[in-house]
Amino acid sequence: MKGTRRVAYGMIAAISSIVLGGCLSKGEADDPYGLFVVEHKQEVSISGSVGDGPLANSDLSVSAVDGNSLAEGKSDEKAGYSMTFYAPVKGYPLIITASGGKDLVTNRAPDFALQGAVISSSAVATANINPFSTLAIEMAKDLNGGLTTANLARAEEVVTVALNSGLSTLVDSGPIATPIDERNIAEIVMASETLSEIIRRSSDALNSAGEATTAERVIESLGADLIDGVIEGNGGARADGRISAAVIAASAQVLLESMSHTLHVDGIDATDGMQYAISVVSPNPAEPALSTMTPGTEMVEQWKAALFAVASVSDDPDILQLAAAADGVVPGMAAADIRAMISDSHRSALYQALNKIAAGPPSMVAAVNSVARTGGGQIVTANRAPTISGSPQKSIRIGEQYDFQPKVSDLDGDELSFSVQGKPGWLKFETKTGRLSGAPTNADTGVHAGIIVSVSDGQASSNVGPFSITVAGADSAPRISGSPPADAIVGVRYQFKPTASDPNGGPMRFSIENKPTWANFDVLTGLLAGTPGESDVGADRNIRISVTDGHSTAYLAAFSIEVKSAGKSAGRVTVSWTPPTRNEDGTVLKNLAGYRIYWRKEAATFNDSMMIGNANVTHVQIDDLVPGKYEIVVTAFNDLGTESRFSNMVSKVAD
């Protein structure tokens, strides 16, 4: 360790048998002394802004990329938030979900949940939660490799151009991790509200046309569609051509309103609402102000492409006249000059076109998407690589049929060819479609790795993979284990997540019987969590969690949870230790600054801790614990903040 000395390992406490290990510098993870090892985590502090219109008092939850819950919080009255918690170093990107709260523009609850992401694993990070970050997360899920930090960064770049909606400075710096202040507050509020209104109007039009659609489904489809960089119905497996066509039509209408500073939300001009929200969020006057915002190149191109696509299927003279005059709209154009070009009849015509396209025949939907694919009829000279996507099945049993058909698109309409690498002998491959199919036999049991399916237009290629297929015996079944805490305390969050595995390596789904009414259950992870109230005091019995791989089901033993009143049953433990006196290099320890105590229920992780900023303290009482058995470790830290390794672990019973 350069520049710091480690606190000595080997000081054994007489009372609680706590042993303080040597201090670790940032990044060191080896454990030469054989101490108790847990998943490496670091303390992180995140903050940012929340909203399509800024959202006050929105419920926030943070999870690692694998779905494990890390922290919960709320946005404040100014639609900002900050949280400090421990996160696994290998759990990035962290995903933040915002739901509920009050939109400061509309003074009502939001129409859909938003998501943000912590991309950097640094100790302090900005993570804004807005429609752009939400769409970027959805897009990254459909890119090859899924939701990784690299894919998320790529997705952010695509979203801010293809669905720009009024971003200017944030096109370059990115709306996810750029701090929001007076220099960009008007920009993010206007652009977020514009993009959200496109989503809302698209969803409303589709529902009016008899297509059962939610705003969340529109977002999911757009994210998948964007993997080829264009909203035009092609892209990932979750893309829907009708949704894309509706979004294109809604964009022609909403972007025109936004560029002319007449954006309507709930049928009412939202300019005053956005101005009010900006004044609440920003302590300093916005510069540039909302009233001076002008469209950038990306926004103008987004609007023109949408308008030309709508005009291609319309015979309305107002829409055709507007399309003919579209070249007169240029980046930096004043809102007043754009307003002078349009009338109420133009707005009405665009509204009718949106409803017509949302309910139109497949040929109309295809025509709208086809024009959007070329950027509104503009000539594309450079060859663009074809795209290929899909989620190959990862496991199969002997005798079952395997079938993977990738989804492909090519913006240039080139003739495509397919190839495969690493194909197992039991699979057939179709060179004209890229399809893999077949059924394994007993001789094929095992893992078949390194499979890659590629598509080429003769100049450029893309691929899915490498991926693996595990062939397992017909009698393989998933496994599930875990010891659910038997007690829950009123007002204290309860959580239990079973450990499950599948010998085939395939996807699993969880279910629960007799779930407590005060708890939620995640069918993807098996997490049972919630906070009981006084009305829930008593026993919930015969709770049973199971997991299935689609063929076989494994069950956890039935269990009960006793909900107890906090005033009567909160437990406590006392921990004592002997302070270390020397650094690991044998020199006298002179800069000991304090201790941190970590505790957990058995089979959980060390999510709870307490810092003692006094080197003279040698014992502490931990209160308000759920009664039961706890495992406890202690670390020491010096005045540079360098923390020791975990001490030996002791068990205590809180009662």
Please write the tens of the pLDDT for every residue from 201-242: 999 999 999 998 999 999 999 999 999 888 988 888 899 999
**21 has a pLDDT exceeding 60:** no
**16 has a pLDDT exceeding 50:** no
* Residue 24 pLDDT level (bands cut at 50, 70, 90): very low
Specify the residue for token string 């060859």: 383
Does residue 352 belong to any structural domain of this protein? yes
pLDDT of residue 34: 31
State whether 65 and 203 are in the same domain. yes
Last residue within a domain, chosen from 554, 569, 584: 569
State whether 345 and 455 are in the same domain. no
Does residue 56 belong to any structural domain of this protein? yes
Does residue 463 belong to any structural domain of this protein? yes
State whether 583 and 540 are in the same domain. no
Model pLDDT for residues 395-453, shown as the tens digit of each residue: 888 888 999 999 887 766 788 999 999 999 999 999 999 999 999 988 888 889 999 99
pLDDT of residue 474: 65
Residues with Cβ within 8 Å of 30's Cβ and at least 6 positions away in sequence, in order, are none
Last residue within a domain, chosen from 418, 439, 472: 472
**19 has a pLDDT exceeding 50:** no
- Spell out the long-range contacts of 580-585 with Cβ–Cβ below 8 A and sequence spacing 24 or more: 580/7, 580/8, 580/11, 580/20, 580/636, 580/644, 581/8, 581/11, 582/8, 583/5, 583/6, 583/7, 583/8, 583/22, 584/5, 584/6, 584/7, 584/8, 584/9, 584/22, 584/23, 585/5, 585/6
* Three-state secondary structure readout of 503-531: CCCCCCEEEEECCCCCEEECCCCCCEEEC
Q: Which residues pair with 51 in a beta bridge?
A: 54
Does residue 314 belong to any structural domain of this protein? yes
Average confidence score pLDDT of the chain: 85
Tell me if 164 sits within 8 A of 156, measured CB to CB: no
The H or E element that residue 11 is part of is strand 11-12
Tell me if 62 sits within 8 A of 47, measured CB to CB: no
The domain containing residue 144 runs over which residues? 45-373
State whether 535 and 648 are in the same domain. no
Residues with Cβ within 8 Å of 127's Cβ and at least 6 positions away in sequence, in order, are 46, 47, 48, 94, 96, 116, 117, 118, 119, 133, 176, 177
Model pLDDT for residues 604-655, shown as the tens digit of each residue: 677 778 888 888 888 888 877 777 788 888 888 887 777 777 788 888 887 7
State whether 260 and 125 are in the same domain. yes
Specify the residue for token string 């899924």: 146
- Greater pLDDT, 30 or 468: 468
CA distance 456 to 155: 23
Does residue 237 belong to any structural domain of this protein? yes
DSSP state of 195: H
State whether 489 and 627 are in the same domain. no
pLDDT of residue 31: 34
State whether 253 and 213 are in the same domain. yes
Is residue 242 left, alpha or beta, with left meaning phi > 0 and alpha meaning psi from -120 to 50?
alpha
* pTM of this prediction exceeds 0.85: no
Q: Rounded mean pLDDT of 165-192? A: 94
Question: Can you spell out the DSSP letters for 616-628?
Answer: T--EEEEEEEPSE
Helix 344-358 with 317-324: angle, nearest 10 deg:
110
Does residue 631 belong to any structural domain of this protein? yes
Does residue 3 belong to any structural domain of this protein? no
State whether 106 and 92 are in the same domain. yes
Using DSSP, state whether 65 is helix, strand or coil.
coil
Nearest-5° angle of CA 234, CA 237, CA 240? 55
State whether 140 and 105 are in the same domain. yes
Q: Rounded mean pLDDT of 251-255? A: 95
pLDDT of residue 120: 82
Q: Rounded mean pLDDT of 230-257? A: 92
pLDDT of residue 637: 80
* Residue 590 pLDDT level (bands cut at 50, 70, 90): confident
Structural domain total, the chain: 4
Q: Rounded mean pLDDT of 98-110? A: 92
State whether 364 and 427 are in the same domain. no
- Spell out the long-range contacts of 420-423 with Cβ–Cβ below 8 A and sequence spacing 24 or more: 420/451, 420/452, 420/453, 420/454, 421/450, 421/451, 421/452, 421/454, 421/465, 421/466, 422/448, 422/449, 422/450, 422/451, 422/452, 422/465, 422/466, 423/451
The H or E element that residue 322 is part of is helix 317-324
Buried b (16+ CB within 10 A) or exposed e, 407-417: bbbbbeebebe
**310 has a pLDDT exceeding 90:** yes
Specify the residue for token string 């979004």: 247
Lowest mean pLDDT among 158-167, 174-183, 229-238: 229-238
pLDDT of residue 651: 83
Last residue within a domain, chosen from 452, 472, 492: 472
Does residue 387 belong to any structural domain of this protein? no
In terms of Cα–Cα distance, which of 52, 410, 96 is closest to 198?
Answer: 52
**Residues of the chain with pLDDT > 90: what percent?**
50
Strands (E), 134-258: none
In terms of Cα–Cα distance, which of 50, 76, 216 is closest to 129?
Answer: 50
CA distance 196 to 55: 13
Model pLDDT for residues 113-132, shown as the tens digit of each residue: 999 999 888 889 999 999 99
pLDDT of residue 15: 30
CATH of the domain at 558: 2.60.40.10
State whether 178 and 279 are in the same domain. yes
State whether 15 and 76 are in the same domain. no
